[in-house]
Structure 1
Amino acid sequence: MFEGWPPPILDPAGPYAGSVTLLSWILFAMGAVVLLVVLAALYVALFGRRSLQEKLGGKSVIWVGGIAFPLVVLTALLVYGLSLTSHLSDDIRGDELRVRITGEMWWWRVAYLDEGGNAVIHDANELHIPAGEPVVLELESGDVIHSFWVPRLSGKLDMIPGRRNLMRIQADAPGTFGGQCAEFCGGPHALMGFTVIAHPPERFAQMMQARRMRETAPQTATIPGARLFQDAGCAACHRIAGTAANGLAGPDLTYMGARGSVGAGILQNHRGTLMGWIGNSQAIKPNNRMPPYTMLSSDQLTELAQYLEAQK
């Protein structure tokens, strides 16, 4: 596997994940205590002295241990948990970076938004954010229910067709963080990964400026592989900014060469994995919606992989 994978679930790297992780540890500890109490009671019931067994079966134990204790503990836990995670639902300030992420079967559509909520940069399966700053995600679904989860940066939130949910994430320091769809969505659900890369703010600003320019810059059709990309039918499903490829059925490939992974976070991105994915993605991620291109020769696969590697 590569950096950020598998995503650790109890190693927070930002404030929104920290509170969720602390609450998780508290729940684990309380569960362990309850288990020990139950095991102790079971031991007494099976092997304890007669007098202890009689006390264990008395009304006072039932009232205290079965009703009063759970009521007090669970109420206290509810109040503490809500106060601990209340900042997760703070009002949106309006000056945060906003990114719209749409769950698809079985990949992620990513659109960086301007101040008016318009998509200005398109990507897929990978999110770039500035370290040390909160980012607001607009979560949607293009088909079935998905769930967005990057354990080290925030909790999980469902992506529901016809509804837009808001989530904050933040990375305290630069790094790469793995994520996963956390709601069974059929097919290769377990292979629906995601990657978040946090950059120093100045580096992030430079990247976004370069990508804005890339979105509007025309690309020459003489680049090796460009004609084959069109002739093989790739442009019917995929978009590459500045070219005639405007397909929306599959992931945007404008920055494919700069991504760290292939196939929605499951393979490290290099020429070999690109060739394997193009040639027969069904052998790598069964039941995904990209048909196999076994009719292409190795030279043609190499040409397409080189073309995608140049998309940065």
Structure 2
Amino acid sequence: MLEPLWGWPPPVLDPAGPYAEKVTTLAWALLGMGFFVTAVVLAALWVAVRGSPALKARLGGEKTVWIGGIAFPAVVLTALLIWGLTLTASLTRGVTGEEMRIRVTGEMWWFRVEYLDPQGRVVVHDANEINLPVGEPVVLELRSADVIHSFWVPHLSGKKDMIPGRTLLLPIQADKAGRYGGVCAEYCGGPHALMGFAAIARDRAGWDKWFAARRSAELREETASAPGAELFLANGCGACHRVAGTQANGLAGPDLTHLGSRLTLGAGILPNNHGALMGWIGDSQSIKPGNRMPSYNMLSAKELDAIADWLGQTR
């Protein structure tokens, strides 16, 4: 049984996998050191303001400056640097090539998700959701289609930038089933603050069942005779979106083949239900100002209902 949907923003000190565990350990160490330095500075300030002349003379000499101001910071910061680099080395190393691979591309302002076979071919298209088998390392191929984005699931991994023209690898692993929130953690203009996604971890049997259903749906010919499908195509939605088995083959926007089974809409900002989908289609600019999907407020409520009903059935 999957856990309830995450809170927002996602917790940053609650690891659910080995890679996030190391980041959290480092974060607590730095936080503790920050408190210690603050305490030392406050103590020195108290001595300077309220201390006796004798105490000021004893603690304010040249020896204190050399030890407390130069030697101690140099030793402590060097030790922290070496320890931190050693602790987090596995965040960028250890990729064997045998792991399952998922390609994630940051776009303005959503995430394209593609599941790859061992030959590197795309076998399942998705958007704004990543599905993982519990207890197994997965390697993400991170890319950007436009500007610098950043991929971060605080529960499961460290933050890694997505840079145009480059493919960067990020190992990720979930040690327990659940739904985890992720965000773009690098300002990318426009509605950057409304660019999120979900990472969903299932046991291996559940993941295999999910993947088989997704892949068979990709290969199954679907009819496009429903009123909602006809309205979808007639209003040009297929120029930006893809729905497998129909004439909609657009690549500019998220793949909608499996929209009905996703947790959220608008890259993590709305629950995926019929009413929210109607609202998003009708006036996405009021919900997520600046996103690249135009509002279709010229459509009637009946037309919006038909399109939302058809898209909700794409599972």
| Aligned equivalent of 2:155, options 152, 155, 164 | 152
- Whole-Å Cα distance in 2 between the matches of residues 161 and 54 of structure 1? 58
- How many angstroms does 1:57 deviate by? 2.5
- How many angstroms does 1:263 deviate by? 0.3
Asked if the contact 1:103/1:109 (under 8 Å) is kept, the reply is yes
- Whole-Å Cα distance in 2 between the matches of residues 201 and 55 of structure 1? 66
Report what 1:118 is aligned to. Answer: 121
1:145-294 equivalence runs, <5 A: 145-294=148-297
- Whole-Å Cα distance in 2 between the matches of residues 167 and 133 of structure 1? 14
Report what 2:310 is aligned to. Answer: 307
- How many angstroms does 1:91 deviate by? 3.0
What TM-score do you get using the length of structure 1 for normalisation? 0.98
- Whole-Å Cα distance in 2 between the matches of residues 136 and 267 of structure 1? 28
Q: Please provide the CA RMSD for this pair.
A: 1.0
Asked if the contact 1:129/1:135 (under 8 Å) is kept, the reply is yes
Asked if the contact 1:14/1:153 (under 8 Å) is kept, the reply is yes
- Whole-Å Cα distance in 2 between the matches of residues 260 and 271 of structure 1? 12
Range that drifts further, 89-98 or 181-190: 89-98
Return the letter of the residue paired with 1:196.
Answer: A
Asked if the contact 1:239/1:252 (under 8 Å) is kept, the reply is yes
- Whole-Å Cα distance in 2 between the matches of residues 222 and 46 of structure 1? 81
- The runs of at least 4 aligned residues of structure 1 exceeding 4 Å deviation read none
Return the letter of the residue paired with 2:7.
Answer: W
**1:208-244 Cα deviation digits (max 9, x unpaired):** 1121111121111223411111001111100001111
Report what 2:6 is aligned to. Answer: 4
Percentage of matched positions with identical amino acids: 59
**1:93-128 Cα deviation digits (max 9, x unpaired):** 222110000000000000000111111110000111
- Whole-Å Cα distance in 2 between the matches of residues 99 and 43 of structure 1? 55
- Whole-Å Cα distance in 1 between the matches of residues 58 and 268 of structure 2? 57
For the pair 1:87 / 2:87, whether they are aligned, the reply is no
- How many angstroms does 1:56 deviate by? 3.1
Gap regions ≥5 residues in structure 1: none
Secondary structure in structure 2 of the residue aligned to 1:225: helix
- Whole-Å Cα distance in 2 between the matches of residues 120 and 5 of structure 1? 31
| Aligned equivalent of 1:29, options 25, 32, 41 | 32
Count of paired positions: 311
Range that drifts further, 211-220 or 28-37: 211-220
- Whole-Å Cα distance in 1 between the matches of residues 47 and 84 of structure 2? 33
Asked if the contact 1:14/1:152 (under 8 Å) is kept, the reply is yes
Asked if the contact 1:110/1:123 (under 8 Å) is kept, the reply is yes
- Whole-Å Cα distance in 2 between the matches of residues 69 and 54 of structure 1? 20
Gap regions ≥5 residues in structure 2: none
- Whole-Å Cα distance in 1 between the matches of residues 219 and 99 of structure 2? 24
